[in-house]
Each structure stands twice: as C-alpha cells, then as structure tokens.
Amino acid sequence: MKNTQELLNILTLEDLGNNNFNGVSKDIGSPNVFGGQVLAQSLNAAYRTISNNRILHSLHSYFLEAGDLDLPITYNVQVIRDGGSFSTRRVTAHQNDKNIFILSCSFHKEEEGHEHQIPIKKHIKQPEELFSWTDMLVQFGDFLPKKLKAFLSVERPIEFKPVEIVNPLEKKDVQPFVDVWFRLKGDPVDLSLALKQQILTYISDYNILTACLNPNASVANFSNTQMASLDHSMWFYRDFDFNDWMLFSIESPNTFGARGFACGNIYTREGKLIASVAQEGLMRPMKK
C-alpha cells in the first residue's frame, strides 16, 4: 500500500448479507495479518450496522489467533443494543471456522457536555526536525539488523517520524517512552469521521509495544523477542482531520511474565487530544 486510497480499499469490506462481511489482507512486513488491519476492518463492519448517525466512542478487543495472510477474513456483527443514547456491537472475525479476533464497541449520539484534556508535551521536536522511517532506511540501512531493515523497506500508506531514535546496535536500556509523529500519504480530504476513526485505529497498532522493549533494550530487540498484540482498547474524543502531522505519545508502565503493557494519547499538531489507546502484548524471549 502506498497511499490513503489503497488503505481504504483494504479496510472497506465486502457485504455478504445478514451482518456478515468479507475482508482481504495486506502484508506489512510480518508473517501474520497485521493487528491494526483486523481492528480497522472490524470497525468497518460494525459501522455498517449503525444507521442512526452515532459515532464510535470506545472499543475493546482480543486477538485470539494469528491471522493467515492468504485467507479471507469473515466478520460477523451482532447487534447487542440500540438504546436512547448508545449503540453496542460485537464483532467476531474468523478464518476457516476458527475465531481469530473479537471486538466490542460502543457508539454514542452527539451531545453537549463539560470538557477538559491533558496537554500535549511541551518543547517536543517537530516533524520537520526528524528522520522518517524511509530516511532511516536510506541513511542507516547498511548498518541495521536484517529483520528491522526488511520491516522498514515495506511501502506503507503512513509516514512515521520517531522523536527519538534508539540505536539497536548500542544495546542500551532507555526510558519506557515513545513519541512518534505520523501522517497519511496521499490526499486524505473529504473523509467521514467514521472512516477517519477506522484509519486511526489501524495506525494505533504501530509503535505501541516498542515502549515495552525500551527498558530492556540491552538484551531484548525485535529479532530475539516474539511480539504480538494480545488485546487493544481505544477511546475516541473529538473530530479531527488528517491534514497535518499527528503525535502518538506512548508510555509503558509495566512489562512482566512475557507480557508488556503500553498506553498512549494521540494529538493533532495543535495539541487537540483525539484518542487514547491501551494495549497488552506478548513479549516472549526467544530461546536460542
């Protein structure tokens, strides 16, 4: 995938009728289906059953099995409730009669209320000062570990610029924080809020577990650690546009027992808080 339209083509599912939908997968450099893709496709299925203009405000999900890139994924949506203010849906994704993912999500009618938010980090480096993943590949490709180089070589519809670049060759423990600017490639104008939320959910599965690796970077890296998303939750607050860089600010409070937990907030460049994310992932050291 090279741009926003190609990403939307992957996220938009085929309607099979009776609240069943079919999706195909795209390789992003890992041997299994990317978790962000399954998340976003599940949301696409859920939104297709919402007819009262309600907007997603939260989702909670579990990854049950690794998805096969070569098989279609079928999504079944259960209409749990349509109340006076909220609508609830449950989505099950399966391949070959095997459940690989479950999602619960809630939609809310537009209402007025009190407001506050925590601010974006002060004095953070701006995207124009930073290397993108593509820049890193060009500048340091000959020195990068083979697995990391292959991952960075995959074309993506999103451009990422980490605020701090951890040198994998230094083998040095660092703080459990990751700040990454991102933006869409291609023209993102005229997207509905529903589509923007699906794209943001897709993006939210990138980078987050890196914060769990950082405190153990002297001994742990992507080459010697089996990593996979176990669960994923998001909360959506405000409307936004993909017309500029956005910041995903992540921290990892804990890693223990071959699992790592990370959470973060997503801001516009102007500092408007758009969404919060929480994920626990598998962090299993590989045996030599």
The domain spans of the chain are 4-109+130-285
pLDDT at 157: 93
3-state secondary structure of 173: coil
- Name the pairing type of β-strands 55-63 and 20-23: unpaired
Closest by CA to 103, choosing from 16, 27, 45, 21, is 45
Under a CB-based contact definition with an 8 Å cutoff, are residues 29 and 154 in contact? yes
The dihedral built from the CA positions of residue 235, 236, 241 and 247, taken in this order, carries a sign that is: negative
Catalytic site positions: 205, 229, 279
Cβ neighbours around 206 below 10 Å, total: 19
pLDDT at 134: 87
pLDDT at 211: 96
Closest by CA to 248, choosing from 167, 161, 165, is 161
DSSP H helices, 12-125, are 35-47
Tens of pLDDT, residue by residue, the chain (288 residues): 889 999 999 999 999 999 999 999 999 988 899 999 999 999 999 999 999 999 999 999 999 999 999 999 999 999 999 999 999 999 999 999 899 999 999 999 999 999 999 999 999 999 999 999 888 888 877 777 777 788 888 889 999 999 998 777 788 999 999 999 999 998 777 899 999 999 999 999 999 999 999 999 999 888 889 999 999 999 999 999 999 999 999 999 999 999 999 999 999 999 999 999 999 999 999 987
Q: Which fold would CATH assign to domain 4-109+130-285?
A: Porin (2.40.160)
pLDDT at 149: 80
Cβ neighbours around 211 below 10 Å, total: 26
Under a CB-based contact definition with an 8 Å cutoff, are residues 282 and 276 in contact? no
